[in-house]
Homo-oligomer: A and B are copies of this chain.
Amino acid sequence: MVRNDAVPTVRDVAQLAGVSPGTVSKALNGQGQLREETRQRVLDAAEKLRFQPNRVARSLSEGRTYTVGMLTSDSFGRFTLPLMEGIEDSLGAGQVSTLLCDGRGDPLRERHYITELLNRRVDGIVVTGRRPDARRTVGRLPIPVVYALCRSDDPGDLTVTMDDEQGARLAVEHLAALGRTRLAYVSGPQHHLSTRLRQQGFERAAAGAGVEVADVLLGHWSEAWGRTAAGLLARRPEGARVDGVFCGSDQIARGLTDGLREAGVRVPVEVSVVGFDNWDVMVEAARPTLTTVDPGLVRLGRESASRLLTAIDGGEPGQGVVALPCRLVLRGSSVPT
């Protein structure tokens, strides 16, 4: 009596093909030397039985699970989504699956997840987080680890993140090229690394382009702060008006354009505005739509995962901080028509 309900194993395939289980394994994985005829016979048998290899058994014997863990320090959020997409892109191509672990900013929880991932014998881990700020390293692990977006504080780790400074430079150079000469930088809290790096890029690029840094306003990553900042900028004395603003986020930029419009300042005629993030929701709802710096998070995810795969395959993925360049996306808020 044949057990039709059971899932077929290599043994079943072997039996049907009239070979041994070992041969089936070789045929299916393209290992060793097999006569073409035999291989085909095995393939046919597997096909006929709709054989699907049990990955768990394979993992146990191979000592490799084709699985990587994705661990967030803070939580999954808007920034991690495109990252996940990119990571899945790279991994999926390598038949590698992703195990989700949301650390929720709790070190204990994180610790627990790490041992769990190790017990599950994942081949590697991508550590990520909402913001590119530095975080404590997860420490030396017996498997490769790559930090994506958020930086590890251990220079021996590999971090793949965006180039905040270069992104800011892009924005300033764009404004300068438009003929803007008195610029302001409106951004998030000073204690965020991104805020400072973008400020650095802003100031250096301004100096390089010979344009004036008229104001630097640091606050929060919110629309409300953007509106407040707009008020501040609009109240500057006649001769000291800014004609270009680089914002540290699209939310700020959106609030700023709203604030400027309501204060009677025309964007982009009188003032050009550039945001950061290329977040569709903000960028499209703003009036005018926002010119912004795109950090390329999907590509960032792809890059980090592909380096992780390299490391898993015994290659050298690099170390230290790899900062991927941002792109400028032109829309209505910067170019006067």
Interface on A for B, CB 8 Å cutoff? 7, 52-57, 59-60, 65, 67, 70, 75-78, 81, 84-85, 88, 97-102, 115-116, 118-121, 142, 222-224, 251, 255, 281, 284-285
Contact A85 B76 (CB under 8 A): yes
Task: Let me know if A99 and B102 touch, CB within 8 A.
Answer: no
The list of the 4 closest CB pairs from A to B, nearest first, reads A223-B285, A98-B100, A55-B120, A55-B119
Flag if A100 contacts B70 (CB, 8 Å).
yes
Quote the shortest CB–CB distance from A68 to chain B (angstroms). 10
- Given the complex of chains A and B, what is the CA–CA distance between A50 and B304 in angstroms? 31
Q: How many copies are assembled?
A: 2
Interchain CB contact under 8 A, A52 and B85: no
A222 with B97, Cβ < 8 A, contacts A55-B119, A102-B88 known: no
Knowing A60-B60, A121-B55, the reply to whether A100 touches B102 (Cβ < 8 A) is no
Interface contact B52-A56, CB-CB below 8 Å: no
**Are A76 and B84 in contact, with the CB atoms below 8 A?**
yes
A to B CB contacts below 8 Å, 19 in the list: A7-B142, A54-B60, A55-B121, A56-B120, A67-B99, A76-B84, A78-B78, A81-B81, A84-B102, A85-B102, A97-B100, A97-B116, A97-B120, A98-B100, A99-B100, A222-B285, A224-B284, A255-B285, A281-B281
CB neighbours of A54 from chain B (8 A): 60, 119, 121
Contact of B285 with A118 in the complex, beta carbons under 8 Å: no
Chain B neighbourhood of A55, CB < 8 A: 119-121
- The CA of A281 and the CA of B56, in the complex, are separated in Å by 42
CA distance A244 to B119 in the complex (A): 56
Determine if B88 and A100 form an interchain contact, defined as CB atoms under 8 angstroms apart.
yes
User: Does A121 lie within 8 Å of B56, measured CB to CB?
Assistant: yes
> Contacts of A119 on B, CB cut-off 8 Å?
52-55
Please, how many angstroms separate the alpha-carbon atoms of A54 and B285 in the complex?
A: 50
Query: Knowing A53-B119, A56-B121, A284-B222 touch, does A81 contact B88 (C-beta < 8 A)?
Result: no
Q: Which residue of B lies closest to A261 (CB)?
A: B262
Measured CA separation A29–B76 after assembly (Å): 33
Most chain B Cβ neighbours within 10 Å, of A101, A120, A121: A120
Complex Cα distance, B223 from A76, in Å, reads 25
For A78, what are the chain B residues with a Cβ–Cβ distance below 8 Å?
Answer: 78
Distance of A305 from chain B, by nearest CB (Å): 12
